[in-house]
Amino acid sequence: MNIELTPEKIKKIVIAAVVVIVAAILIFNCTYQVREQEQAVVLTFGNAKTVSQSGLHFKIPFIQKVEKVDTTIKGISIGYDLETGNTIEDESLMITSDYNFVNVDFFLEYQVSDPILALYASEDPEEILKNIAQSCIRTVVGNSEVDSVLTTGKSEIQTKIKEMISTRLEEQQLGIYLVNITMQDAEPPTTEVMEAFKAVETAKQGKETAINNANKYKNEKMPEAEAKVDQIKQSAEGERQERINEANGQVARFEQLYAEYIKYPAVTKLRMFYEAMEELLPNMEIIIDTGDGNSVQKILPLDSFADIAIDGSDNSEEETQ
């Protein structure tokens, strides 16, 4: 049986095929399936409006878009690689409150609590969670003693870290919450790290010793220096007062001399001359030179002349009497 395909029939077949394809596309875009452990965020014109649970749902083609979010519990390792199990020392090495180093590994579990916030509140909520967890872990371990970290205090440390992380997540509003955090392992660090730590502690003790010695030396020398300063001040003050008194005395003497000079100028001048000579002559020596280039014939001490002058004056007075 031969079927003749006329242009009209071919046109109808093509139209029918297009209609079927368009209908299939529309039907496919009108429905979406949400599996268990998933939630779907429905966006209308790019705005997140509703969240769908598991099951078959309908949406408006080309107007609404669906973003699915995995709501299963996920895990993050801190201090070690989850695939290989190798230690990541930058994350695991911590210092306790009693200045000891420990290697501590943690595993935390989290789950999506708000799909819209989990999708659009931050670019990478898991990375932010890991940074928050590391900060809280270091804070709690840093406030704990090494014995608690290594032995009996693990449960208490885990509880404190969980509470701190949960509080921070509520403040950040990332759309995820912490399910649990577990301290996997805690052990002292390698020998190289311990040696470096001992070197640091030795340097720190040396610093404290040097500071204590310097303070001791300062405490010993400060009273002595203060006493010297006080002594110098007192000496300077005494010398200052002495010079002031001397200057005042000189001024008073000069004023007395001036008053006498006004009354008897000639007598006062002669008296001042004699007083000056009395001070100068006892320390003077007279050298007589003939002037012909020969050596000095005689050195005459002035003391004898002074004595003669005194004796002569005395004799003259007696003769006068």
Q: Which domain covers residue 159, as residue numbers?
A: 74-189
The span from the CA of 121 to the CA of 176, in Å, is 10
Per-residue pLDDT of the chain (321 residues; tens, 9 = 90+): 455 666 776 777 777 777 777 666 666 667 778 888 888 888 888 788 778 888 887 777 777 788 888 889 999 999 998 888 888 888 888 889 988 888 899 999 999 999 989 888 888 999 999 999 999 999 999 999 888 888 888 899 999 999 999 999 999 899 999 999 999 888 877 666 667 667 776 887 888 889 988 988 888 888 888 888 888 998 898 888 988 988 888 888 888 877 877 877 887 778 778 888 887 777 766 665 555 555 444 445 545 544 544 444 444 343 333
Classified as helix, coil or strand, 89 is helix
The span from the CA of 32 to the CA of 34, in Å, is 7
198: tokens are: 């001992």
The answer to whether residues 47 and 86 belong to one domain is no
Last residue of a domain, one of 151, 169, 189: 189
The answer to whether residues 64 and 79 belong to one domain is no
β-strand partners of 32 = 57
**What is the tally of structural domains in the chain?**
3
| Domain contains 267 | no
The answer to whether residues 123 and 81 belong to one domain is yes
Span between the terminal Cα atoms of the chain, in Å: 197
Residue 161: closest CA among 104, 114, 90: 104
Residue 284: closest CA among 295, 300, 261, 269: 300
| Domain contains 232 | no
The answer to whether residues 126 and 29 belong to one domain is no
The answer to whether residues 184 and 94 belong to one domain is yes
The answer to whether residues 54 and 116 belong to one domain is no
